[in-house]
A and B are shown apart, each in its own frame.
Chain A
C-alpha cells in the first residue's frame, strides 16, 4: 500500500498513485476461479465448473496441450448457480475428447478488469505416451444423414502416421498432437448394414486401427392401423416407412400405448381400446403416430376354413366354417373365386353369418377349384384372407340335356334327313330326339340378296309361341353335295334375329400369259361353293413384295381376263380378288417374267449385220482404189540386195533340194496330241511340189485351211527368184508345218548362205542376228528347255529385225497360223512349229502385227 503525503510538486504523481490504488483494490475484488472439469466422452462435451466469486463474466481459454494451440478463447457470461454456488459452462468439442489433451484456464472479468488466470486444468487425451496403442475415435458413433463428423487417429507409439480412409476414400487430415491426426467427413450419406469403416493406417502399412460409424435416419413409420378379427381383440400393424439404415441393436424399437419396446411391427391387444399411439424410437430420434376407430369399422375377417361342397351336374353348394362364432351375427359379403380350365371368375355373395353359397351355371363332370374370402358388409374395412383352395367335380347324373351326339341318320324323306340325337353319359342315354336336316345337294330355295352389315348379315324370323327354349339357326353351303359341315348358332328365347357371319369369296386359279409386250391375266369362274356371296366385280393387283398396287377395278361380274400394258421387262406378281359387299376375297396370285419381244431382237440383229457388211464393202472398195497408197504407206518395197558376180544370171528359181537323207527335228510336247508329236519326214517330192503338198501333209491336219489358203496365195503370185527377195525365200518355210534343216551339200553351196546350216554352230549368212537376250527370253518361254540351245544355235535367217515379231519362234500352234502366214520366216527357224503353251499378251500383239503383214502381202500379190 503506498504511503500518502502532500506535496504540490508531486500532484500528478499522486493522482497516478491514487488511480493505481483504486485499480489494485478492484483487482483484488475479482476472484481467481478455481476450475474443475467433467467430460462426456460420447457427446464430446466438456463441462467446466468453477468458483468465481461474484463475477458473472469470465474469459475462457482452451488449448491443445501438446502444441499449445488455442481451440477456444472467448469471454462468456456465466451467472452463479445459487444451488451449487458454482459457475458452470459446457463446451462441445469438434474433435473427440480422446484425441488429444486439452488445457483449460479461466479468469474473471469485470469490464476491462480481469483477475489472474486460474491454474491450468488439463483434460488428458489418449495420445499420452503411456497409452501406446493404435486408436481411432469416436467408436461406433451413430449420426444422422448429412451431418459432419470429425475422426481422429492416434498412431501407435513409434509408428508414423499414414492415412485415414472413410470407406474407400482417403480423406484430408490435420495434426492435433505428436501422435494424433484428425479428419472431418462432411455431409455423410447413409451407411450399409455393417456401418461405414474409418480406417487409419501407419506408414508403411504395417498396422491399422479403425472405427465404424453408422449413418442413418430417425424413424418414420407409416400405415399405422388397428383392426379386429374376432370382434373383440385388436391387432395393430404398421410399416417401417423410411429406411433408417440402422440395424441390429441400433434398429428402431416400437411401442403402442406404452407397451414394451419391440422390433416387430405388429402388436396385439386383448381388448379393443379405440385409441392407439405408436412411438417409434431409435438412436437418432423418435416418431409418434396415432389411430382411432370403432370396432365395427375395423373388421378383418379370418379365412374361411374347412370348405366342403355338395356337387350336382349344373351347380354346387360350397360351405365353410368360421373360426369365431361372433361372425354368425355379422352381415358378410363373400367373394368366391372359381377356377376351371385355368379360367378364373369371381362371384360375390352376401348374407348374415354367411357359411355357404350355391355356385350355379356350372358344367357337368367338370373339375373346379374355389377360394373364398369375406368382409363385413357394413362399414367395409378390407377383405379377409383367402381360404385355402378347395377342389370339386360336378356330377354327371343329369341326362336331360347333354351335348349333341349325332348317332345315326334315321331316314331319307323327300330330300330331308331326319337325325336322331341321343344324349349319353355315365348314367345312361337320354330319350332320342329327332332333328330334321336339309339334305345337301338339293336345289336351294330362291336366293335373295342379303345386306352385309358388320361382318355378316342379319337374319330375322317370326317368333314362335311354342318356342320356350329359344331357337337354333343352322346353315350350310348350298353348293355342298355331301358330308357338309353344318354350322349353327343357339339363339336365346325371345330373340328372333341373328347375325350370320359371312366371308368374301376366294378366286379360281389365275393364269398369266405374255402377249407381245403385254401381259394377259385370265381367270376362271368362281365355283359356287367358293362364292359365299354375290360377286360384284374383281380387283386386279400387282404385288411388289408385300405391297399391293391396284391396277384395275373390274365391276363387270363376267370379266374373266385383263391385259396389263406398258410394263418393262422383269418379273411381276399379280393377284386378282373378287369382291362382294362384304369386301374382297383372298385372291389368286400368279407370277410371270416379261421377256423382251423376240421379233424386234431379230430385226435388230439383221440390221446390225447389214450395217457391218456395208461397212466392210466400203472399206474394201476404198482400199482397192487406194491400194498404191496403202502399199506405200504400210508395205513399202524392200530394197533388193545388190549381188556382185554372176548371181543374177541364174536362169530360174532355185530348186533347193535336200540331200538324199532327210534331216528330222523332233518337236515334242507332252500335252499335245499324238498327231503333233510325230516325227515328220519331209520327202524331196513334197519340198519340190510347193503349193500342193500342204494339204496332203500328215502333219498339222488340225489346221489345213490356213495352210491351204496360204498355198493358194502363193500360187497366185508370180514365180520369182527366191534369192533376190528374202521374203519370198522365207515363204518356203510355210509349206510345211514341220521344221526342216537342210544338210549342206557341195552343189548347193550358193544357196547355203540363204539357208541355215543346222548342224554347224557357225550357220550361214546372217544379216541381222537376233539379240542374245531375246534368244534367252524365248528359251525361257519355251515349254521344252532342251530345245533352247538348238534354237539359239540355229538362229534362223532374219532378214530384218523388224520382222522379229513375225517370227514363228514365239507363235505357237494354238495361237493360229495367221502370224506365220506371209511372214518372211527363215527356213531354218526351228521355233516355227514349236507349240505355244502359254498365250501371252505379247503373242496377241504379234497376232495383230502378223495380220497386218498378211494384209500387206495380200495387197502385194494383187499388184499387177
Chain B
C-alpha cells in the first residue's frame, strides 16, 4: 500500500474516532473576541484589520492535498497558540490579572480549547508521518507592542487570528472525509489506468 493510501485510511479512521471536542461549536471560538469587547475597551480594532496577518503560512491552494492542508492548518494553529500565550503573558505583566475575572477565565478557556484542537490535529499528522515533520511554531514576532494601547490592539488581532484559524480548522476537518474519499477514488482510477496500459 502506498504512503498516501495508508494516510487516507488512517485519517478516515482517526476522524471517526476523534472526540467530539475537535468539532466544537463555532461560537465557542469567538469567546476571545467577545470577552475582549466585554472588557469595555471603548473601541474595537476592526479598523486595523488591514494591518496584515500575524500568522504566516503558505497561501491556500485548491491543488493542495488533504495532508498538506492539514499541515498548513496545524502550523497556523501552533502559531496562534504561541501568540496567545505571549498575549496572555504580556497582558498579565502590564495589567495584572484576576484569576476569577470573566475575561481571564474565558481567555484561558480559548487557550485550552486551542491546545486540544492542536493535540488532535497533531495526532492526525502523526498517523501520517510518524513523528511528524517540522512545523513552524512561532508566529511573526515583529517588534511587539511598545505601549499599552499597542498591546491592546495586538491582543485583539491575535484573537482575530485564533477565531479565523479555528473556523478554518472546523471547515477543513469537516470536509476532510469527503475529500479523502474522492482522492482515494482518484487514486484507484489511476492505478486501474496504469494496470490497463500494462
Contact = CB atoms under 8 A, between A and B. Distances in A.
Contact of B47 (A192, A194, A207, A212): A207
B96 A193 contact: yes
Nearest to B51: A207
Contact of B149 (A165, A168, A212): A212
A195 B93 contact: no
Interface residues of B, number: 19
Greatest chain A CB density within 10 A among B98, B147, B149 is at B149
Contact of A210 (B43, B94, B95): B43
Contacts of A193: 95-96, 98
B197 interface: no
Nearest to A168: B42
Contact of A194 (B48, B147, B152, B153): B152
B99 interface: no
A197 B149 contact: yes
Contacts of A211: 147, 149
Interface string A509-546: 00000000000000000000000000000000000000
Given A197-B41, A199-B42, A249-B93, A140 B148 contact: yes
A139 B148 CA distance: 8
B92 interface: yes
A132 interface: no
Given A168-B42, A208-B47, A248 B149 contact: no
A328 B108 CA distance: 49
Interface residues of A, number: 24
Given A208-B48, A212-B147, A248 B42 contact: no
A194 B39 contact: yes
Contacts of A209: 149
Nearest to A202: B47
A140 B150 CA distance: 10
Contacts of A205: 47
Interface string B130-146: 00000000000000000
Interface in B35-75: 39-43, 45, 47-48
A432 interface: no
A633 to B, nearest CB: 98
A247 B149 contact: no
Contacts of A248: 92-96
Contact of B96 (A167, A199, A251): A251
Given A248-B93, A249-B93, A251-B96, A199 B152 contact: no
A197 B93 contact: no
Contacts of A197: 41-43, 149, 152
A130 interface: no
A194 B92 CA distance: 10
A206 interface: yes
A136 interface: yes
B149 A136 contact: yes
Nearest to A209: B149
B15 to A, nearest CB: 41
A95 to B, nearest CB: 18
Contacts of B47: 205-208
A166 B78 CA distance: 37
A210 B149 contact: yes
B38 to A, nearest CB: 12
A197 B43 CA distance: 8
A249 B148 CA distance: 11
A205 B95 CA distance: 28
Nearest to B92: A248
Contacts of B153: 210
B43 A208 contact: yes
Contacts of A249: 93-94, 96
A206 B50 CA distance: 10
B102 to A, nearest CB: 12
Contacts of A199: 42-43
Given A193-B96, A248-B92, A249-B94, A212 B42 contact: no
Interface in A443-461: none
Greatest chain B CB density within 10 A among A206, A207, A212, A251 is at A212
A139 B95 contact: no
Contacts of B152: 194, 197, 212
Interface in B151-165: 152-153
A798 to B, nearest CB: 91
Nearest to A210: B149
A434 to B, nearest CB: 69
Interface string A154-190: 0000000000010110000000000000000000000
B149 A139 contact: yes
Contact of A167 (B42, B45, B92, B95): B42
Contacts of B43: 165, 197, 199, 208, 210
Contacts of A194: 39, 41, 95, 148, 152
B49 to A, nearest CB: 11
Nearest to A211: B149
A248 B89 CA distance: 11
Contacts of A136: 149
Greatest chain A CB density within 10 A among B39, B95, B147, B153 is at B95
Contacts of B149: 136, 139-140, 197, 209-212
Contact of B148 (A167, A206, A207, A212): A212
A139 B48 contact: no
A165 B96 contact: no
Nearest to A213: B148
A192 B98 CA distance: 13
A195 B42 contact: no
A212 B145 CA distance: 13
Greatest chain A CB density within 10 A among B39, B41, B98 is at B41
Contacts of B96: 193, 247-249, 251
B86 to A, nearest CB: 16
B174 to A, nearest CB: 36
Contacts of A207: 47-48
Contact of A165 (B42, B93, B147): B42
B148 A195 contact: yes
Interface in A122-140: 136, 139-140
Interface string A193-236: 11101010000011111111000000000000000000000000
A248 B88 CA distance: 13
A482 B152 CA distance: 88
Interface string A274-298: 0000000000000000000000000
Interface in A101-154: 136, 139-140
A139 to B, nearest CB: 4
Contacts of B48: 207-208
A262 to B, nearest CB: 14
A277 to B, nearest CB: 26
Contacts of B41: 194, 197
Greatest chain B CB density within 10 A among A140, A168, A207 is at A140
A248 B93 CA distance: 6
A136 B149 CA distance: 10
Contacts of B98: 193
A212 B154 CA distance: 14
A140 B147 CA distance: 7
A249 B91 CA distance: 10
A168 B41 CA distance: 9
Interface in A245-273: 247-249, 251
A247 B42 CA distance: 19
Contacts of A208: 43, 45, 47-48
Given A139-B149, A197-B41, A248-B94, 9 more contacts: A139-B148, A194-B39, A208-B43, A208-B48, A210-B153, A211-B147, A247-B96, A248-B92, A249-B93
23 contacts: A140-B148, A165-B42, A165-B43, A167-B42, A193-B98, A194-B148, A197-B152, A205-B47, A207-B47, A207-B48, A208-B48, A209-B149, A210-B153, A212-B147, A212-B149, A212-B152, A248-B92, A248-B93, A248-B94, A248-B95, A249-B93, A249-B94, A249-B96
Q: Which 4 A-B pairs have the closest CB atoms?
A: A247-B96, A248-B96, A212-B148, A139-B147
